[in-house]
Chains A and B, each alone.
Chain A
C-alpha cells in the first residue's frame, strides 16, 4: 500500500509537470493528498472486484494495477495509452483488470455501478462493485436515483464518497445542507461508515467490512472517506475559495509519511526500505513519462474507429461534400 500511494503521488507530480510543458492538455485533476482512499479501498477487496470512479481517476487506475506507462501515455494522447488516446486524463479504464473508468459527468457512474452490481447478482458471480465519487456528486439527482435502486434491489455495491470539503469551488456548506455524507445514505436505509481518508488503514478497514457485507448478500454499503486535495480542483484552479492555512493544516496529515511512520514503528519496513521504494517509484515514473513522450500519435485513419462495436456501412453516415468523393468511390 505504501508503494501504491507513492506511485500515485509521483505519477501526479510528473503529470503536472507535463501539463506545464503542454504535453498534457485539457483538464487535469490531481489526486495528491487523497491517495489513501483509492489505495486503502482497492487493497481491501479482491483483484476481480469491479471499480468505477470519477474524473480524478489516476489514483484508481494505479491502485487497480494499471501500468503507469499506459496511463501516462493516455494523458499524452498517444496510441499506447490505456484508451488509445480517445479518453484522456478523465477517462482512464482497463476492462481486463475490472477497472471500468474514469467518468467525467459528475454522478453519472453511480447508477452504472448499481447496474453492474445487478449483473453480478443476476449471474450469481461473487464480485462486488466499488463506486467512488465526490461530495459534490451527492447534490446531483443521479446520486439519489442510483442509491435508491441499489438499496431497493439489495445490490452488492460499495459507494465510496470522497468528502474533500469542496466540489470544485463550492464549499461543503454551500453545496450540502449536511456536512456528513453518510446522512444521505440513511434515507435509503443503507448501512454506512465514516473513515479517516488520510489514513490508509482506516479506509482499508472500512471498505473491508463494507465489501464483506455486500458479498454476503446483505446489499449495498456507503463509506465516507474524510479527505482533502492538496492541489487545486484542476490545473486551471487559482484556489481563491480556500485559505492557505487550511491547506497547510491538511498537508500536515499527509497520508504517505503517516503510513510510512506506522510501518517503521511496527517494524514492517525500515526507513531505508521506504526511501528505496521512493527511488524505485521515481525511476518508474520517469520511465513512464519517457515512454509517453516517445510513443506514436494515433493513426489519423483510425479517428472513426470504435464508434460502433458492429461496424456500419460507411455510406450510412453523413459526410458532407468534402468527403463525398470517398463515399461514392
Chain B
C-alpha cells in the first residue's frame, strides 16, 4: 500500500496504461506544457512526447469527435475536457457519436475511449460550477464513472481505458488533493471493475447513497449521526452511475428500510431524481419512510462566497435529511 493523492492516482492510471499499451493516447487543452488545468497530466508530455500526449485547439466537440474517429481507427484515446461545464460543447459527439455507433451500426464496431472531465466549484460563478452527471448517465451506450477515493480513481480509470465502450470519467476538483491508500504492485494493478458499488460503512438504521465528493460528505454525516443521535448509517459509494449497481443499494435498503440519496447536481432532473424513481420501483415495500434527496437547489451557483455556501450540498444537509426520517 502507498498513500497518494487523487490527482496522482488519475495520473498513475494513465501513465501505467500508456506504458502497457502503445495504442493509448491522451488529448486535451493545455495538457502538455501547462500540465492540465488541474495539473493532472503534468510531466506526461516529457515521458511520452507529442504524438501520444496531444495538445489540442479549444474545440470540445472536435476533440471528442476526433477521439471517436481515432478509436475507430484502432487507438484508445483518453480525451480530457477541462471541466464538465465545457463538456456541454461536446454533448453532440458524446451522445450522438460515441454512445450510438455500436448500436446504430448493428454491433460492427465499438468506440473504446475515455472522456475525462471534472465537476466542482469554489467561487467560480454560475458557468463554471455545475454538475451534469445525470445528463450523461441518462444515455444508453455510455458508461459513467465518478470515483471518490484515490484507489477508485486509479482502479476505475484503468478499467475505463481497458473497456471497449465509451466511458465518461468525472473527477472532482475538490478531491484532487485528498489522499488515500492505493494498492501497491504486489496486489496487481488495482483495477476496479466498472458497475460495482461498494458498501463503505456498515450500518443498520438508514442507507446513505453517495458518489464523488458527496460520498465523503455522507461519511462525515454518518459519524455525526452516530455520535449525536445514535443513528447507525450504512454508506454506499456508487462509484459507477451507469451501469448502476442497483442490487447493492437494494440489499442495503432491505436491511435499513430507509434511504437518502446524496448528489451535487440540481434537484430537477438531477441524477438522484431517476435513481429515486427506480428505487421506488424496486423496493417500495422495504421502505419505512419516503426516500430523501440531498441535491443542489434549482439556482445557478453564484460567485459570492456567502451565497455559494448557502447552496452547496453538505454533510449538514445529509444530517438534516436523516433526522427528518426519524
Contacts and interface: CB of A to CB of B under 8 A. Distances in A.
Interface stretch (B71-79, B123-131, B315-323): B71-79
B57 A152 contact: yes
B215 to A, nearest CB: 19
A92 to B, nearest CB: 9
Interface stretch (B10-18, B169-177, B241-249): B241-249
Interface in A305-319: 305-310, 312-313, 315-319
Contacts of B108: 83, 93-96
Nearest to B75: A119
B80 interface: no
Interface residues on A, range: 35 or more
Interface stretch (B91-99, B146-154, B202-210, B303-311): B91-99
Given A114-B69, A116-B73, A306-B106, A145 B61 contact: yes
Contacts of A120: 73
A82 B108 CA distance: 10
A116 B101 CA distance: 14
Interface residues on B, range: 35 or more
B61 A111 contact: yes
Given A108-B96, A320-B281, A83 B66 contact: no
A91 to B, nearest CB: 5
B88 to A, nearest CB: 13
Interface string A108-147: 1111111111111011000000000000000001100110
Nearest to B58: A145
B73 A119 contact: yes
A192 B45 CA distance: 34
A303 to B, nearest CB: 10
A86 interface: yes
Contacts, number: 171
B61 A321 contact: no
B68 A115 contact: yes
A86 B57 contact: no
A306 B103 contact: yes
A105 interface: yes
A96 B105 CA distance: 12
A152 B96 CA distance: 25
A76 to B, nearest CB: 14
Contacts of B71: 115, 119
B67 interface: yes
A101 interface: yes
A133 to B, nearest CB: 13
A113 B73 CA distance: 9
A313 B92 CA distance: 27
B43 interface: no
A157 to B, nearest CB: 9
B102 A149 contact: no
B70 interface: yes
Interface in B118-151: 140-141, 143
B34 to A, nearest CB: 18
A108 B73 contact: no
B253 interface: no
B292 interface: no
Given A86-B104, A115-B65, A115-B67, A321 B281 contact: yes
A307 B140 contact: yes
A260 interface: no
Interface string B7-39: 000000000000000000100000000000000
A123 B74 contact: yes
B97 A83 contact: no
B97 A108 contact: yes
A287 to B, nearest CB: 22
A94 B108 CA distance: 8
Contacts of B246: 315-316, 318
Contact of A306 (B70, B93, B107, B242): B107
B106 A145 contact: no
B62 A149 contact: yes
A205 to B, nearest CB: 27
9 contacts: A81-B106, A87-B105, A95-B105, A95-B109, A116-B72, A119-B71, A142-B62, A146-B66, A316-B195
Interface of A: 50, 81-87, 91, 93-96, 100-101, 105, 108-120, 122-123, 141-142, 145-146, 148-149, 152-153, 305-310, 312-313, 315-321, 324
Given A119-B74, A149-B56, A310-B163, 4 more contacts: A115-B77, A148-B59, A149-B66, A315-B246
Interface of B: 25, 51, 54, 56-57, 59, 61-75, 77, 92-93, 96-97, 101-110, 112, 140-141, 143, 163-165, 195, 242-247, 274, 277-278, 281-282
